[in-house]
Structure 1
Amino acid sequence: MAAPTTTPVAPAAAPARGFWTSPALRKLRRNPLAVTGFVIVLLFGLMALLAPLIAKPTGNCLRDLGMETQGQIYQPGFALKAIFASPPECYKMERVSFAQEPAPASSVTGTFAPFGTVNGYNIFYGLIWGTRTALKMSFIIVGITLSIGILIGAISGFYGGWVDGLIQGIINVIYALPPLVLTVTILTILRAKNPGGDPTGPIIFAMCITGWATYARVIRGDILKTRQLEYVDAARALGARDMRMILRHVVPNSLTTVFTLAVLALATVPLSVAALSFLGLGFESGYSEWGQLIDFARAWLKPDYWYVLAFPAIFIVLFSLAFNLFGDGLRDALDPKTR
């Protein structure tokens, strides 16, 4: 008797390959504006990661890294320490001189300052290290506000009733006040209790208080639709607890819209931080942050000093444009109605 033949079973496709060929990602890859935005975001990310190699440490930063000369930054030990464990002094802009009047790149000697100086600070150094500040603040603030918004919005939409009414009332109060005014008020109170301290924590706290409401309202609307679906009723019939249903079944299927909003919000955080610095409520003078450079340029708005405002403005516009282009493309790709 002949041995039975077996049909070979094709191996399952790798999850990574399935993700790469998914309809949403295919549409995203075919969107040239979204790809352009993503490439610019990657360039900003590389600039932030390699900031110590692009704008080499000086002064106290050099001392805190245990280096004697700037050339040592290219040694693996010092490079890794500067990239992944930069001391706080490294975020202070290199001060070339104490002259208040801006100086073009051609007149700056003894240091690499291709964008010139303002108030004696190296604009190039401030922009490169300021990219780290922008990305750090963006991801921390958006991450916290997104998490809070998802949690509160999920509870509001899933339980409804008086819980939903109370949460929506709080959100309405937040919406009744302009976000910048509320942020400035909270930040002023926090800074008054600790004058001269590190403003990073107060800025993050103030912006998180005013930022979670949008995510909560959006996720609530999606969950109101999702909780009526059959698989949620099936999970409830099988005895699943409320928190398990919220975290395992309801929230994961309601994240498309709010995730897109989070990507778009990454573009607005540096603008808000820059506005706070412009108002004198941001980081200390000389800190590597784009808003600081815009504030310095305010006193030198003359054609002869065009570089003082032009280069920081280009960085801010490109950063915001990149996340907006990528976020718009991501929203279109994740929308099933447009596929």
Structure 2
Amino acid sequence: MTGLPPPGAPLGHYVSDAPFDPLAAERAAEAAPAVAATQGQVMWWKFRRHRLAVISGLFLIAMYLVVAFAEFLAPSTVDTRNVERIYAPPQALHLFDKGQFVGPFVYGRDMTLDLDTLRRVYTDDTSRVEPLRFFCHGAAYRMWGLIPADLHLFCPANGGELFLLGSDRLGRDVLSRIIHGARISLTIGILGVTMSFALGLILGGIAGYHGGWIDLVIQRVIEVLQSIPTIPLWMALAAIMPVTWSPIVVYAGITVILGLLDWTGLARAVRSKLLALREEDYVLAAQIMGARPRRIIARHLIPGFMSHLIASATLTIPGMILGETALSFLGLGLRPPVTSWGILLTEARNVSTLALYPWLLLPAVPVVLVILAFNFLGDGLRDAADPLR
């Protein structure tokens, strides 16, 4: 057959007479790095092709940077009030005034009271140009609750006002409160998933590796928890927490509640994987060498599908964020003075208030964007971790 060496011929000195295929050579060159690549490198190459997941990952990195530097990025503190600007609508940001470039600025506003509806009416005064100040000194705060500072990324003009997303019933800046609320709403998802991840790995690993009556008991517990309606269960557990608890303790309680209720799906995924892997030869070899079950599970079984677990955890975080938002919106979760996106949305529970001041619903926008970003990121990680894709 053409292209094959004769029997007994040394392969190292054999030259094939088959025609050269440049396309096949190019494919072989492209595949050469993948042969020697680690599993992490292959996952990264596959993840990079998922453009939407990459964009979502960058967006989430930006959001967590906002969480880390919320005090600096917000134009005012979370509780700064302007009683003369209650329910002020969002101000438009401009760059040009009368054809001349000024830079980012807002127009000053006048407020009048409509005596028929008792509603405040705000009108722009185009004769008052109020440029934004950057890296300016404003309201004092403590960075991370430790470092005293008063530097902000941007501030209103001296003697002016700035409500880019409007103000609430107490004259507080909605944008600043959204930025500060991101710290609670985004970190509670990470902490809750950490707890549920640990519970899912431990209980799912024990059930999948040992089987028998241990597996039976854990599966019945999972089925009971999954059969209870989520919202009533959240409400019942949140109502147990005394109203006298401090906001920090309530925050910890909500995190524990979300973590204790969201481990069931991950536990079942771990159990199914371990049921299939515990019969492999390398597991039998580890058992013969005297390895304990805990070591076999932690060092040999779980690392084999850790990439799938990471993707599952990424898809679980949105449920945690929505759980905190729902509890706080219903008044059963976090309570003022703590600020979260769910607490901000309680301002929009009244339909008549929402009809008059629709900007109070703006805290729902970052909730939707973050949930979508986590879902797209989870899809990208899951596709990258799937060896068949």
The question of a shared fold, defined as TM-score above 0.5 by the shorter chain, is answered with: yes
Matched, 1:307 2:346: no
Partner of 1:195: 244
C-alpha distance in 1 between matches for 2:176 and 2:356: 21
Q: Which of residues 53, 67, 79 in structure 2 aligns to 1:48?
A: 67
What letter matches 1:123 in structure 2? V
Partner of 2:235: 184
Contact 1:38 1:326 in 2 (8 A): yes
Q: Which of residues 126, 143, 147 in structure 2 aligns to 1:82?
A: 143
Unmatched segments (≥5 aa) in structure 1: 1-16, 62-69, 88-104
Partner of 2:55: 36
C-alpha distance in 2 between matches for 1:183 and 1:303: 29
TM norm structure 1: 0.77
Partner of 2:330: 279
Cα distance change, pair 267–225 in 1 and its aligned pair in 2 (3 A): same
Contact 1:125 1:288 in 2 (8 A): no
What letter matches 1:177 in structure 2? I
Cα distance change, pair 122–57 in 1 and its aligned pair in 2 (3 A): closer
C-alpha distance in 2 between matches for 1:19 and 1:266: 27
- Give percent identity, aligned residues only: 30
C-alpha distance in 2 between matches for 1:313 and 1:130: 12
C-alpha distance in 1 between matches for 2:49 and 2:160: 47
For residues 283-304 of structure 1, the C-alpha deviation after alignment (integer angstroms, 9 at most, x for no partner) is 2234321111111012255454
Partner of 1:115: 165
Cα distance change, pair 223–20 in 1 and its aligned pair in 2 (3 A): closer
Alignment of 1:1-339 (within 5 A): 22-56=41-75, 58=77, 71=136, 82-83=143-144, 85=146, 112-120=162-170, 121-189=172-240, 191-192=241-242, 195-198=244-247, 199-299=250-350, 300-309=352-361, 311-338=362-389
C-alpha distance in 1 between matches for 2:49 and 2:327: 38
Contact 2:195 2:260 in 1 (8 A): no
What letter matches 2:246 in structure 1? G
TM norm structure 2: 0.68
Cα distance change, pair 252–296 in 1 and its aligned pair in 2 (3 A): same
Structure with the greater alpha carbon radius of gyration: 2
Shift of 1:197: 3.0
Name the Cα RMSD after superposition.
Answer: 2.9
For residues 6-55 of structure 1, the C-alpha deviation after alignment (integer angstroms, 9 at most, x for no partner) is xxxxxxxxxxx956982221111011111111111111012111211111
For residues 118-152 of structure 1, the C-alpha deviation after alignment (integer angstroms, 9 at most, x for no partner) is 12132111110111112210110000110111011
What letter matches 2:218 in structure 1? I
Cα distance change, pair 251–205 in 1 and its aligned pair in 2 (3 A): same
3-state DSSP of counterpart to 1:114: coil
Cα distance change, pair 119–19 in 1 and its aligned pair in 2 (3 A): farther
Shift of 1:237: 1.2
Greater length-normalized contact order (CA 8 Å, ≥ 6 residues apart): 1
Structure ranking higher in helix proportion: 1
3-state DSSP of counterpart to 2:366: helix
What letter matches 2:183 in structure 1? R
3-state DSSP of counterpart to 1:134: helix
For residues 27-86 of structure 1, the C-alpha deviation after alignment (integer angstroms, 9 at most, x for no partner) is 11011111111111111012111211111564889xxxxxxxx95589xxx99x604747
What letter matches 2:169 in structure 1? N
Shift of 1:112: 3.7
Contact 1:158 1:223 in 2 (8 A): yes
Count how many residue pairs are aligned between Structure 1 and Structure 2: 288
3-state DSSP of counterpart to 1:153: helix
